[in-house]
Amino acid sequence: MNMPLPSATSTLDFTPAVGDMPFTPLQRELLSTAHRLGRDNFAARAAQWDREASFPFANYDDLREAGFLKLCVPTAHGGLGADYPTYMMVAAEIGRFCGATALTWNMHICSTMWTGVLADGIPMTDEQRSEHAARRELHFGRIVNDGALYAQPFSEGTAAAAGRAPFGTSAKKVDGGWLINGRKIWASLSGAADYYGILCTEDKGDDHPDARDTLYISVPATAEGLSISGDWDPMGMRGTVSRNLTFKDVFVTDAEQLMPRGIYFKGAQTWPAMFFTLAPTYLGLANAAYDFTVKYLRGEVEGEPPVQRRQYPTKQIAVAQMRIQLESMKSLFTRAITEARPNPTKDQKLRLYAAHHSVMEGANDIARLAIRTCGGQSMLKHLPLERLYRDSRCGALMLPWTAELIVDRMGRETLYEAGEQ
């Protein structure tokens, strides 16, 4: 008699960064692959990208081979069909082993999730729906058939990325397509992406740019008039290679429009959880700092002398504090990803903000405690902790939901109902 073989879809032999919860068979399978890739390949390479401030191309070869570039492309289009919560769990697992890979992978995945599962939840007219269906076919095909990589440069150094002003980069309608002019900063995957999915404002020729006219358009890396500039030597997340892009009369065809006119603006209002996708990277980093601390205090870090430090009550208290904070981050995170949906209730939205703030600030808190607890030798460069500390500092700075802006939103949206002044 054939006994069913134990497989990744029935058991997990590790605790995922997101914690234990009832996973679907697809979630178990994807988490197992992410964990294996991270543990066996990404962890050992992470120091190299950090030292060189270079893009993790080798990790992307692995992600491509595992089908992870098409993770959120619907199965009907040849993808793996992962939904929002599934992506968020898998991303946290990758972040546990390489923050820069997880963060850049998020930029790519968003180009498929926004046009896929999120767009399906945004109201559109029949005409817009069929326009979108035709265009995303091309976009998904590039990823599924050619393994194309997408970046997501929005930031401009103005109030636009915070959602408080129209984007300064403009797109003017011309015969057969769009003419793009402007500049983006902090474009992760600069020089590595095949396409840059930019947000820009439709130039209607009336000198009144309006955020409702935001367009989401992909610009091929080979487009004439697109250039990359600027030094890249940041404190953390050095493997993201987030340089500046300049667009000078860049022509792209109509087919490059990733969403119909006006739909991005509606999407940002309908689906606030779309901005929470930056958080799993940092939940992964928090797990890594905690895991390292436990191993280090037990004298079990490979290549290090087996000195045990766990007998000191202060170490035990610190580990307990770290675990309490990590558990609370995981609980808020899992609650937020399971209730992510279009048009969340006010309570769901406030919880989402709380989850984001807790993960983005908490990741660096845990890394800080880890260094304090493990001590001076633990911050030497041959160990991962000082990199985790630097990488984890970046989360709370990312727009549109920096830690400051989240607090600002939470306070205002708690005390004022929609429409109240």
Ligand X SMILES: Cc1cc2nc3c(=O)[nH]c(=O)nc-3n(C[C@H](O)[C@H](O)[C@H](O)COP(=O)(O)OP(=O)(O)OC[C@H]3O[C@@H](n4cnc5c(N)ncnc54)[C@H](O)[C@@H]3O)c2cc1C
- Would you tell me which residues interact with ligand X (CB under 6 A)? 107, 152-155, 157, 159, 161-162, 164, 186-188, 237, 240, 242, 394, 397-399, 402, 404-405, 408
Give bridge partners of residue 216 from the DSSP assignment.
199
| Min CB(13)–ligand X separation in Å | 32
| Min CB(198)–ligand X separation in Å | 9
| Min CB(182)–ligand X separation in Å | 13
Name which of 159 and 174 has its Cβ closer to ligand X: 159
Name which of 285 and 340 has its Cβ closer to ligand X: 285
Name which of 245 and 374 has its Cβ closer to ligand X: 245
Under 8 Å CB-to-CB from 301, ≥6 apart: which residues? 292, 295, 383
Name which of 109 and 394 has its Cβ closer to ligand X: 394
Q: What is the C-alpha separation between 184 and 97, in angstroms, rounded?
A: 29
How many C-alpha atoms does 330 have within 13 Å on its Cβ side? 22
Name which of 26 and 53 has its Cβ closer to ligand X: 53
Token pair belonging to 353: 């903000």
| Min CB(55)–ligand X separation in Å | 12
| Min CB(45)–ligand X separation in Å | 18
| Min CB(163)–ligand X separation in Å | 8
Closest CA to 305 of 385, 386, 377, 379: 377
| Min CB(408)–ligand X separation in Å | 6
| Min CB(368)–ligand X separation in Å | 18
Q: What is the C-alpha separation between 124 and 133, in angstroms, rounded?
A: 11
Name which of 74 and 280 has its Cβ closer to ligand X: 280
Name which of 165 and 294 has its Cβ closer to ligand X: 165
Name which of 91 and 319 has its Cβ closer to ligand X: 91
Under 8 Å CB-to-CB from 76, ≥6 apart: which residues? none
| Min CB(99)–ligand X separation in Å | 9
Name which of 171 and 237 has its Cβ closer to ligand X: 237
| Min CB(331)–ligand X separation in Å | 25
Name which of 31 and 148 has its Cβ closer to ligand X: 148
Name which of 2 and 421 has its Cβ closer to ligand X: 421
| Min CB(311)–ligand X separation in Å | 38
Q: What is the C-alpha separation between 139 and 152, in angstroms, rounded?
A: 14
